[in-house]
Chains A and B, each alone.
Chain A
Amino acid sequence: MASIGTGYDLSSTTFSPDGRVFQVEYAAKAVENSGTCVGLRCTDGVVLAVEKAVISKMLVQGTLRRSHIVARHATLTVCGLISDGRVIVDHARAEAEQYKDFYGRPIPGHVLADRIAHFVHVYTLHWHVRPFGCAVLLGVADVDGPQLYLIEPSGLSYRYYACAFGKAKAAARTELEKLKLNGSDGKALISCDEGVKELAKILVKVHDESKDKDTELEMITVTDGKDGGAKLVPRKVVEEAHAAAKAFLEADDMED
């Protein structure tokens, strides 16, 4: 060992002398290489949006989904390793189903977020597994209204009004803060339809032209009420929002 403090990053079961678990921090790095994910709590539901790099011209549009449906009232987007995310999605679905079986009602958002976080956290404790290389944004619309949660690879879970993760998370969070999200009573001001447009604008704005040439947006909403449910935003709507966002920002640049 070259000096004190090195060599503590090989196992998630060993703390470094200054109290850090490096393996878990490295997992968070895996997430930061991912295409940006943004989520927004709206008046009538939650919108989750994600930017996907088009890695080949031969790629079929809409392939390799990063947003998933967990239950009729819950959606999830994966930020980081997509295949790791699928394990979380599978587990989240099982939790939602188990809760419904046992309590006879849909799983509340905070319970689902807690259970996912618990599951993710367990993978930071055992030597024979590695932590998840992904964070997930969880959108839930139930009797308690729309809720947005972020679960990190460490097993931390926070509830947000709006949040971003991935490559351009800092820039995206700054943009989200500029939006007028809540009234003085803490209630949301933006509807899901507007949210789709706003998130498209943010994703276009924080997009780094020099790194990724071509990108595709994927969005999913979950709404409450009679015709509610988890629905992938139709490709046509996303493409329109994407094009409108690009046009808006170009016009903005011209003015400057």
Chain B
Amino acid sequence: MLGELEGTVVFRELLALFPTSWLERISSHPSSEAAEKTVTMSGFKLTSGSGRFERDANVQSSASGEPIRHTQRPMVTGSSVIAMRCVDGVVIGADTLASYGSMARFRKISRLHKATDMCVVGAGGDLSDFQQLTTMVDKETNRDYCFNDGHGLSPKAIHQYVARVMYNRRNKMDPLWNYVVIAGMQNGDDGEEAKPVLGLVDLVGTHFESEVIATGFGEYLGLPLLRKAYREDITVAEGKKVVEQIMKVLFYRDARTIDRVQIATVTKDGVDMGEPFKLETEWSYKAFVDGARAGDMSTW
């Protein structure tokens, strides 16, 4: 009994130490309002979905009332994704490494995800954020599947969805730390032929479509090579070779990559995720053996 009383007194004293604005913040916690509004019956919610207050509560403040801290840097990361839109489909490739800082932490993961029968999503950046994103995309495609109305989410729709998610998160100052590449075949209107689509969304929600896309280190080393190799009539078979070649260049120069890559294609026949394979490399070049020196001519 005495202990309880003492505890109360101590608690009051403690309260006096806090600025009053903190207390107001705790008492007007949005989730407590939401809890009152949710009608339940033997544990079942009678209304479906989650309310706006409930959803935003965890963004505004943590359970303890303290301001919550957001992701300020990625942890386990993937590097480049290289993709090219061709006449008959899209090619998208990535290595199978997830680095923890500079350590090659996970060597056999996939950074490409089959979203639908006609769409592949690949990403560089934080791997767990990418896993979260694919879970969200899968949930959307599953819901769409349940409607069973003969329509599926198109690659453009997925591109737009990812853009909305990324932009929304960056406005909460808590971005999903990814560069997301969306590759797929888009069915045309009025029975037009399916057209290849290639798009990118970055961690602040910038989104665009392009014939060639590269992320990570590939944005610097791969993009010029992609642009050089690109022709309007390039085929998926040729594009695959280009992507493989670029992955090889990146393996020579990027310290956050590995010689195992996966190249997926999307054509009118659907998605081919492609098996991961080892790149053949050649290390006996003079520059590699001797090391680069000042005054060396650039080789490319």
- On A, residues with C-beta under 8 Å from B are 68-72, 90, 93-94, 97, 100-101, 119, 122, 125-126, 129, 229-230, 232
Task: Find the A residue at minimum CB distance from B138.
Answer: A100
B172 at the binding interface (Cβ < 8 Å):
no
* 23 sampled A-B residue pairs with Cβ under 8 A: A68-B146, A68-B148, A69-B146, A69-B148, A70-B146, A71-B142, A71-B146, A72-B142, A72-B145, A93-B146, A94-B48, A97-B143, A100-B142, A119-B44, A122-B41, A122-B42, A122-B44, A126-B41, A129-B41, A229-B145, A230-B145, A230-B148, A232-B148
How many of chain B's residues have a CB under 8 angstroms from any CB in A? 12
Chain B contacts of A229 at CB under 8 A?
145
User: Are B148 and A97 in touch, CB under 8 angstroms?
Assistant: no
Chain B binding surface, main DSSP class: helix
CB contacts under 8 Å to A, within B132-183, are 135, 139, 142-143, 145-148
Tell me the smallest distance from the CB of A104 to a CB of chain B, in Å: 9
Task: Find the B residue at minimum CB distance from A104.
Answer: B135
Tell me the smallest distance from the CB of B255 to a CB of chain A, in Å: 33
Task: Find the B residue at minimum CB distance from A65.
Answer: B148
* Complex Cα gap A126–B139 (Å): 33
**Which of A69, A122, A126, A129 is B145 in contact with, Cβ under 8 Å?**
A69
Chain B contacts of A90 at CB under 8 A?
48
User: Are B142 and A97 in touch, CB under 8 angstroms?
Assistant: yes
Task: Find the B residue at minimum CB distance from A87.
Answer: B48
* Complex Cα gap A97–B135 (Å): 11
Chain A contacts of B139 at CB under 8 A?
97
Tell me the smallest distance from the CB of A183 to a CB of chain B, in Å: 33
Chain A contacts of B148 at CB under 8 A?
68-69, 230, 232
Task: Find the A residue at minimum CB distance from B139.
Answer: A97
Tell me the smallest distance from the CB of A165 to a CB of chain B, in Å: 22
Give per-residue flags for B4-32: 1 if the beta carbon is below 8 A from chain A beta carbons, else 0: 00000000000000000000000000000
Chain A contacts of B142 at CB under 8 A?
71-72, 97, 100
Give per-residue flags for B200-228: 1 if the beta carbon is below 8 A from chain A beta carbons, else 0: 00000000000000000000000000000
Task: Find the A residue at minimum CB distance from B49.
Answer: A94
Knowing A94-B48, A97-B139, say if A125 contacts B42 (CB, 8 Å).
yes
Which 5 A-B pairs give the minimum distances between C-beta atoms? A69-B146, A122-B42, A69-B148, A93-B146, A122-B44
Tell me the smallest distance from the CB of A100 to a CB of chain B, in Å: 8
Task: Find the B residue at minimum CB distance from A126.
Answer: B41
* Complex Cα gap A229–B143 (Å): 14
Task: Find the A residue at minimum CB distance from B147.
Answer: A69
Task: Find the B residue at minimum CB distance from A89.
Answer: B146
CB contacts under 8 Å to A, within B70-122, are none
Task: Find the B residue at minimum CB distance from A122.
Answer: B42
Chain A contacts of B135 at CB under 8 A?
101
* Complex Cα gap A232–B150 (Å): 10
Chain A contacts of B146 at CB under 8 A?
68-71, 93
Chain B contacts of A126 at CB under 8 A?
41-42
CB contacts under 8 Å to A, within B218-245, are none
Tell me the smallest distance from the CB of B185 to a CB of chain A, in Å: 19
Task: Find the B residue at minimum CB distance from A119.
Answer: B44
